[in-house]
Structure formats: C-alpha cells, structure tokens
Structure 1
C-alpha cells in the first residue's frame, strides 16, 4: 500500500528524536563558577581535605551551591564569580603548597543526565570568554640542541672506536666541523659515520677535516619533532591549569595556537604555558681553582656559570641528567629548616644514570642548573623576537650517598617558585623554546553577548522559515516546521555527544545555514508533489512520486555541501572548522528529518486513506 511505513520505521524515527532530545537537555542547565582542588601527582585530596576546605569557606562567609570530593579532587560550586575568586585566593593560601587550585566553570547538569553521558556542548573562546595565545617555536634553538647532541655522540663514539680528533666544533647552518689528529684515519671515519649516522651529509674540507650537516629530510624531521613534542607538552601544561575544553593545534610551519575557553586566571596561564624552564644536573669541577675561574682559564670540558649570589661556579659542560627524565615533581618544605624544595622523581633510565653517577662521585659536589629562555627585547631581520638563554645554579649539594630515582632540589627562594617549578617539571621541558607572539583575551561579558546575538539570529531565522512554510504550504508547511525543530534538537544533541565538537560563532552560522538547507529539501519535495498532481496523478501517487522523485536532487545537493564542509574542515583553521562541523552535521541530519521524518508524519496523516484534497 502506498505511503505507509512499517511499524519499526515509525518507532525508529521516534526513538532517534527522543535520544536527540535527551542529550540536548544538558544545554538548558548552564554552568556554575567553581574552584577545582586537585592534589599534585601521586597525591589525592581526601575527606579531611574536604572538611578543611569547607571550614575555610564557612569561616570566610563564602556560601557554596555544592562541594564534592570525587576521584581525588574537590569541586566547589558557587553562586557568583565574586565568591569564586575570593574562595580561590583563600584556598590557595591554605592549601597551595600541596594542591593545585584552579578556577573552572562546572556544568550544572543533573546527576541522572551525567550518569548516562549527558553533557552540554563545549563552547568556544568567542562564546564562553577566555584567552587565546599564538605561540612560535624557536626552531634555531631546537636545531642547536640537535647539533649539541650530535657532537656529544661523536665524542663518545670516537673515543670508543679510538679515532683521535683535535677538535669538534660548530660550523655554519648547524653543521659540525670535525678535525682529526691523524689524517690517515679520515676514510675509516667517513665509513663509520655513514654507517652510524645515515642522516648526515659528509663533506671534505681538508685532508684531516670533515663538515657534517643534517640532510634536508633530517632537518625537516627535526622541525616536525620539535613542533609535535611541544604540542604534547603544552597539552600536559593545560591539564595542570584545569582547563578541560582547550584547543591546542598547529598553525603553519612553526606556530601553535592555544585557546583556553572559560579560563579566568590569564596571568597564570601565560606564565605556565610560555615558560621554557628546565633543569640540568651537572658535576662541579673541583680541579678548577678560584684564580683560574677569575682568569677564565678553564679546561675545554668545563664552563663557568653563576649562582644566585652572582658567584662563579665551574661546571662540567656535559650534563649528568636533563629535565626530559623527570616524570614527577611536587613542591614541599624541608623538614629540617622549613625552606621550600621540589621533590623529584625520575624515570627508570634517569634513575639508573643518577644511581651510577652518585656511586662514582661520593663526597663530590653536584650542581642543579636552572635553564630558561627569555625575551631579549631584540628582533632578527625577519621580525622574530630573539630569545636569550639564562642559566643559574640554584643549588650545589655534596653527594653523601648513592640515590636513584627520588631526591630533592633545595636552594629555592619561595614556595610560589617551588610550586611553579614543580608544575613545569611535571609537564615536561619544552624541546625548543616558544614565545607568545599574540595574546587575545575575550571577556565573559563579550562571550555572553555573542551567545545572545547568535541565539537571536538563529531563532529569528527559524521563526521566519517556519512562518513562510506554514503560510505557503499550510499543513505540509507545519510538518516541515516540526521536522526543522527536530533537526535543531538532533544537531544540538549530537554536538553535545561528540567529544571533539566545539560550538563557536561561525558554528552558529553553520547551524543557521543548515536550517535553510533543511527547508530547501522540503521545498523540493512539496513542489514535486504539486507538479505530479498537476500532471493528473492521484493524491497518493503524487505523494509517493514527490518523495521518490526529489530524492536524487536532494542527495546530490546535500552531498556536495557536505563535501565542501569536509574540505573546509581539512584546510581551515579554528573558526572555519567550527563552521564546517555544524554545517556538515546539520545537512546530514536534515536528510533524515526532511525526508524520513516528514514522510512519517505525512504517512500518518494521509497514508492508506481516501483523500480528496491536500493541504499544500
């Protein structure tokens, strides 16, 4: 029988719309300003911590909507941002040395919805407010590090293979110049290098001198690795800030975009994300006298660094250990004298290196060197900011016994410095320094204004389309309007379910455009039905042919739109991606609501009945 759906198809449409409605519900509950309190790695908040925080808030007259302990972290919700900011300051003063305290916006979704995975849509920076950083990776420093690593490897390999050399030094364009003590070994050395370092281009300079440079593919690989590793480290640092919906993505060859929606402590975000600090552990060369240091007459394997008092210290050039082996760090206080310190945990390789080093150097001093890259205030010929390397010996400790993967760093000026250093060491040392070349802050009020304007535009657009449909197509127009509303509900529900989808202002534009695309499909169907009726078809046949005949045109039009959105997503940046996601999802959903959904309603009203006239 024409225009009758089987029961299962009707139930399927109802079920899909019901699921969409269910998962779009969390978006009507909004968010609460909150303070998130989490322990440093290896430590969790407990019920006693919860009681302490509750007493602190009650003592300062700060009322909470709720305060819960879940998965080792405390989340305190407040009625307004004023209470939230004051509470954050008070809690930091009380617990800041042992806990990470971050401002947050917590969804006010009911527990029963959260239990089934119902969460509100993630809002972008332009809707929620927050901060956006455009960062540039200092590739020159990354390549210089690669050059230093190569030279260290060459010295070790040459000693092992008994190749005698008089100098290994820097050349132009990050090349390395090797001068051999015995010219007759040059052929053997070249064969060895080609075998051990396939990515090197080797060039003869003289009878006993070689120039080693990374091949073009190796240089590109080094640049790619620097970007990818920095992306991973920045993601870890964002986690330390407590931002759950951050956008961290590459832009161009050497830049990274970090968007932190909802972040309110922008100064701390800038401090943590832009910091380039790391540590090196080096042995002190006790054979260098103060007089030799004053004359700057030190061996080639030694260099002079200053401590915090400005006094020179002779350190071995080769570091025992670098920050890349640190897997955990937390700030605490020394039990003996109450001064701030950082408790460090190394990975297995770092623990083995430290264990062997301390075994061989008992009663000898080892220094902790703090390394940081800072803006020099100068720019190169390309307009890029030149970073200067700042190094400072923060402590020198005599090795009293053998130790491995756990130890303490002392000599730190303040507890705040200890806490920041611990955060940086936990999240990893940047492979290459990064500098913030652009900072853009969007206030919560501006974000709220964008939301209000976007909602107004969407609702006005929807209302005008519905009015047109009802006036022009009567009952069929009403059916199309119901399908249009279902389309919006399903789109919001799907955006809420997708983990990587973020709603932005361009995304709202994509939703509004998908409304037009959705009604366009219904217009094609309804006009085809009218045409079939004018050609003498019966009403049931006209409805049947209208839906079947318009299907090809609708599919072609929607498919080309979806393909365009895919290309926009692949080639575009953040705002363009937001537009492409909502447009593609809206158009895809409209193929379901505008064809299957309206067909179900039309079938329920007209299917299998003797109809004299259509309200179309």
Structure 2
C-alpha cells in the first residue's frame, strides 16, 4: 500500500532541515568567512577591536562552516618545489664521521695513521697514510658500525656500503637506506611546510607530495608567490658552534673538523668555526619576536636537554665567542659574558620587525631537513578567481534551469516534485561540503553540474516505470508503489558504480581530481536520498490530499 510511516516522514524532514541549516552560512559567505578568519587570528595573535567586530557579525549559535574556495576560485599563490634529498645524505655522513673516526682511532696501532680526504656527494673518503696493506682490516672496522635497515625487497640490509679505491676507504649510504631517508625527509618536509603556513595565518592551504622529491603548495587568499617563496625556501637550520677565530680572507685555510662561514651582517667578514655543533635548532621548543635594546630580535628557548648542554658550554667558555649559524651564515657571534643556565637566549642582528617575526616563525615551525628549490610559481589574482566563480555559477544555473524545464515539460506535476527535490539535493550537497570543510575548485563545480544532470536520472526511471504500470490497468496507488519498488534496483546499481568510480578518483588522484571526486561522490549520496525518499514523500502527501482516481505522468 502507498504509505510512509510517521517516523520516516519526520526523519526525512529532519535531514532536509539539518542540511539546509549547514548550507545556510554559504548564503552569507563574506560575513561568515570574516568571522572564521577573525577567530583564527584571535587564537594565534590576540584580539583587536576590528577582529572582535568581525566575530560579532555572525551569531555563535548558528553553524559557521562554509565551503572553502580553492586557489582557482579565490586567487592566491601556487609553488611547485623540489626537495634536495642529496643534502640529507651529506648531513648524515658528516654526522657519521665522528663514529668512523673514533672506531679507526681505537685501532690505530693495527692500521696505522689515517686522514679524512673529503665528505662530498654523500660519501666519506678516508686514506690510510701509513699502512695501506691494512685496508681490509679498516673496512671491516667501518662495516662494524653499520645498522640494519629494511630493503626494497623486504629483507634486512645494511645502512652503509664500504668499498676500497686503492688505499682510500669510501663510505656511502646503501640504496635501502637512501629510500628510507627519502620517505622520511619528504614526510618531515610536508609537516614543516604545513606548520610554517599555519603559523603564517592562512586558511585551507593545499600541500601535496608529487613524485619522489616534489611538493605542491597552494595557498588561497591574499598571498603572493614572493611572500610564500620567502617563507618556504629557507631551510631555517639553526646551530650553535664555538668560534676558532675571525678573518677577512674568503680563502682562509681551515683544518679538518672546521668550517669557514660568512658573517651575515658584515660583508667581507668570515668566521672559522668548529664543525661540531654544541646544540642545534632541533632542541628549540619556542621562539618569539621581541626587542633587545629597542631593536627587533628573536627570543628562543631550548628543551631541558638542549638547555643543559647550552648552560654547561657557556659556563665552561666564559669570554669565548659563540657563533649562531642560520642556513650557513653566522647571524650573530656574541662573546659569552656569563653562564646562561635558563635554557633561553636572544638572537640579535640587523633585523627589521617583519624579518624578526618571520625568523621566529621559521625557527618555531622547525628546520626543513633539506634544501628546497622552487621549480614553478604562479600567482592567481582575485579578479581571475572571481571570473572563475562567475563562470561556474553560470554553468550551474544553465544546467539547473535546463533540467527543471525538461522535467516539468516531460512529467508535469511529477516533474515539479522532482524539481523541488533537485533544489533540496543541491542544498544538501553544500551542507555536506560545509560539514566536512571541503575545498571547492573549478573541477568541483564541474562535479556539481554533473550531479545536477544525474540527479534526475533516478526520477526518470521511477516515472517511466509508473507509466508502464499505469498501462497495465493498475490503479494509481498501486502503480506509484510498484514504480518505486521496481526501479529501485536499477537506481542502486547505476549509482553504486558511479560512486565506486568517484572513490577510485579520490584515492588515486590529487588536487583538482580529488575535488571533482568529492563533489561527485557527495552528489550521488544526496541524489539517491532525494529520489528515493524526498520525491516519494511529496508524491504520497499529494496523493493523500487529492485522492485522484486517475493520474498522468
């Protein structure tokens, strides 16, 4: 019998009302976006009267989730970057040298004297200067320092490879270890980039790995590629080194275990530093812009382990110079006046207020594990984004009107029911997009347009089935009931296959493809709901009210 239980009717109307409530903020997009942005700024940087006014412009008791606009709709900056993985290999071998030196030095009576020739291209080259005939013994000593790692085939492997070239031992990383380093480096780089952009105050960025060593960064809003490149391209590797001496000779001779680095503030000035780090930026837990003697500076704080090492070194080296190195330049080399035991300090230099704020962000978000090169950058202006929105809006309106007219001319009153359900369908799509905080792009709009066309397919199947049942001399109630029942399997089959396609696109795709898959997948869910439940509810309510003896579809 043609009927819907009361509780089912209540649930259908509740779903419609809930979806409309979630979608409502999008009708006041500018106000709600300013409200959400103000809340984020207050949480990060504190409140101002202007931010409080933006927050008060939208009631707290109403939902504030909106569909975020992607780069192609809102404008912003896009960078395609490449991570220099070779830098990590080099850094790894520099740190490994101390272990090699100690192991070989302990066997000096057996293998004789040795000298490190170089650490280049991720390889350590050590020459046996006294007893080259002991090269095999020395290689076994170095191999004893290896650690197990997981190879590409799944079996255990060594993390280093050792070979001989005459009287020179060459120590490098194995392919299995390089693969693990690459994966870890890319994960760390993604996380550091995300933290930097979040600290910068932008909303809804797109940060995706592309290939083995590339990362795509897209930041919607009022951001230029120059600002974004400045924020991301710096490695922000901070370290503290004892100073051997200063010099003005860029070709000054340095001993093994020493570095020659330029002074960031004084052109033509250089420092010779000990290669070993007393403490590094990895031990930093916080950094904030501040003022020192009325000039912009950066306050930093170590964790307990770093603070203890920092305090012990300063206590033992009062009167000595101590270099603060950032990305291969000495930004400050103060003289230790007293022991610094509080685990914190201040970096001073020729900073502007903006530079001190950016440096604090870089240090707080962490150093990139490797250098980053910008391969491609693109600015998308707000005007271009507005043009894209208008084009997408026109496409949706044209598709919407065409479908509404077709359904009404083809099915009359039943077509009108389907049209109302189609409007509800679009509202529910935007409600779900707002609920999950999805980012809408041009391909996403294409998914919505496609959903509008697909949404009436189920209704066409149902109405055509009802027409066939009417031709079999069945009554109106029975024809409507059989029409919904017998069309259900075809509706489910067609939409499940399309939903699986959308799921595959989301899992395998990236960027715009995922945007299309999200709107298509959500559109399938809402269109099935509106076709099976909403239009049927309208038909049943109309039938109960009019009790027609005959119907025309």
Q: Distance in 1 between matches of 2:106 and 2:500?
A: 59
Q: Bigger shift: 17-26 or 430-439? A: 430-439
Matching of residue 411 in structure 1 with residue 353 in structure 2 = no
Partner SS for 2:335: strand
Q: Distance in 1 between matches of 2:56 and 2:115?
A: 63
Q: Distance in 1 between matches of 2:408 and 2:441?
A: 31
Q: Give the one of 471, 476, 483 matched to 2:409.
A: 471
Partner SS for 1:110: coil
- Identify the residue that residue 540 of structure 1 maps to in structure 2: 477
Matching of residue 344 in structure 1 with residue 300 in structure 2 = yes
Rate the CA distance shift 1:160–1:551 in 2: closer, same or farther, 3 A: farther
Partner SS for 2:172: strand
- Post-superposition Cα deviations, 1:331-361, rounded to whole Å, max 9, x if no partner, equal 22224xx333211112233223212322332
Rate the CA distance shift 1:153–1:15 in 2: closer, same or farther, 3 A: farther
Matches within 5 A, 1:514-553: 514-553=451-490
Matches within 5 A, 1:425-436: 425-436=363-374
Q: Distance in 1 between matches of 2:16 and 2:251?
A: 82
Q: Distance in 2 between matches of 1:422 and 1:575?
A: 33
Q: Distance in 2 between matches of 1:368 and 1:544?
A: 79
User: TM-score w.r.t. structure 2 length?
Assistant: 0.88
Matches within 5 A, 1:161-180: 166-170=114-118, 174-179=122-127
- Identify the residue that residue 194 of structure 2 maps to in structure 1: 235
Matches within 5 A, 1:26-41: 26-31=25-30
Deviation at 1:607, TM superposition (A): 5.5
Give yes or no for contact 2:147–2:158 (8 Å, CA) kept in 1: no
Give yes or no for contact 2:160–2:177 (8 Å, CA) kept in 1: no
- Post-superposition Cα deviations, 1:545-594, rounded to whole Å, max 9, x if no partner, equal 21111111111111111111111112222111111110110011111111
- Identify the residue that residue 304 of structure 1 maps to in structure 2: 260
Matching of residue 23 in structure 1 with residue 22 in structure 2 = yes
Q: Distance in 1 between matches of 2:147 and 2:374?
A: 41
Q: Distance in 2 between matches of 1:246 and 1:350?
A: 33
Partner SS for 1:398: coil
Q: Distance in 2 between matches of 1:196 and 1:529?
A: 70
Matching of residue 422 in structure 1 with residue 360 in structure 2 = yes
Give the root-mean-square deviation of aligned CA atoms. 3.1
- Post-superposition Cα deviations, 1:351-381, rounded to whole Å, max 9, x if no partner, equal 232123223323322111232xxxxxxxxxx
- Identify the residue that residue 144 of structure 1 maps to in structure 2: 90
Partner SS for 1:350: helix
Partner SS for 1:112: coil
- Identify the residue that residue 138 of structure 2 maps to in structure 1: 186
- Identify the residue that residue 358 of structure 1 maps to in structure 2: 314
Q: Distance in 1 between matches of 2:146 and 2:250?
A: 43
- Identify the residue that residue 46 of structure 2 maps to in structure 1: 45
Q: Distance in 2 between matches of 1:341 and 1:30?
A: 39
Give yes or no for contact 2:242–2:273 (8 Å, CA) kept in 1: yes
Partner SS for 1:29: helix
Matches within 5 A, 1:526-605: 526-605=463-542
Deviation at 1:37, TM superposition (A): 10
Q: Bigger shift: 582-591 or 343-352? A: 343-352
- Post-superposition Cα deviations, 1:48-89, rounded to whole Å, max 9, x if no partner, equal xx4xxx5xxxxxxxxxxx541xxxxxxx65xxxxxxxxxxxx
Q: Distance in 2 between matches of 1:446 and 1:581?
A: 24
Query: Unaligned stretches of 5+ in structure 1?
Result: 55-65, 69-75, 78-105, 372-389
- Identify the residue that residue 273 of structure 2 maps to in structure 1: 315
Rate the CA distance shift 1:272–1:195 in 2: closer, same or farther, 3 A: closer
How many residue pairs get aligned? The number is: 535
Deviation at 1:176, TM superposition (A): 2.8
Matching of residue 154 in structure 1 with residue 91 in structure 2 = no
Rate the CA distance shift 1:396–1:18 in 2: closer, same or farther, 3 A: same
Q: Distance in 2 between matches of 1:222 and 1:487?
A: 48
Q: Distance in 1 between matches of 2:312 and 2:371?
A: 30
Deviation at 1:209, TM superposition (A): 5.0
- Identify the residue that residue 370 of structure 1 maps to in structure 2: 326
Q: Distance in 2 between matches of 1:188 and 1:591?
A: 69
Q: Distance in 1 between matches of 2:56 and 2:414?
A: 39
Structure number with the higher strand fraction is 1
Q: Distance in 2 between matches of 1:118 and 1:413?
A: 39
Give yes or no for contact 1:365–1:399 (8 Å, CA) kept in 2: no
Give yes or no for contact 1:31–1:107 (8 Å, CA) kept in 2: no
- Identify the residue that residue 154 of structure 2 maps to in structure 1: none
Q: Distance in 2 between matches of 1:425 and 1:559?
A: 49
Partner SS for 1:509: helix
- Post-superposition Cα deviations, 1:168-218, rounded to whole Å, max 9, x if no partner, equal 455775233344677274375156224578632433416875433322221
Rate the CA distance shift 1:561–1:485 in 2: closer, same or farther, 3 A: same
Give yes or no for contact 2:72–2:441 (8 Å, CA) kept in 1: yes
